[in-house]
Amino acid sequence: MPARILIADDNELVRRQVRNLLGRHPDWEVCGEAVDGRDAVEEARRLNPDLVVLDFAMPVMNGLQSAAEIARTIPHIPILLFSMFLSNQLIELARGVGVRGAVSKADVIRDLVQGVEALLRDETFFPQLVND
């Protein structure tokens, strides 16, 4: 049975690109998409995915707020934060609310698949950022 992944990003083009990238993996299935932070929480509750790829900068609730709510109510679902604004400070805040990995949108091709693989193996995946 393929791993079920929920993608949450307010940009339709980004969601489509992530869906296409993850959809190439034979053992994964994108089970749903969310368009804002509140929608991400609701879809995570409804779909109970194996993993959530969650954008940081979203309307209604940002990625950290959504991650905190998902981690509080459905703690078994690993969350991979996905952001253009990845910094050491954001990574520390994300860890604090229960996020288990982070990927920069600038490095999506290189890091997204590795990040998803790590979280599905019950590992963490955080890049080493040199400068903020």
Return d(Cα 84, Cα 41) in angstroms, integer.
21
pTM of the model: 0.93
Cα dihedral across residues 120, 31, 44, 14: positive or negative: positive
Assigned fold of 3-120 = Rossmann fold (3.40.50)
Write the pLDDT tens digit of every residue in 47-94: 999 999 999 989 899 999 999 999 999 999 999 999 888 889 999 999
Write the pLDDT tens digit of every residue in 86-127: 889 999 999 999 999 999 988 888 899 999 999 999 999 998
Return d(Cα 75, Cα 97) in angstroms, integer.
11
Q: Residue 72 in contact with residue 88, Cβ under 8 Å?
A: no
3-state secondary structure of 92: helix
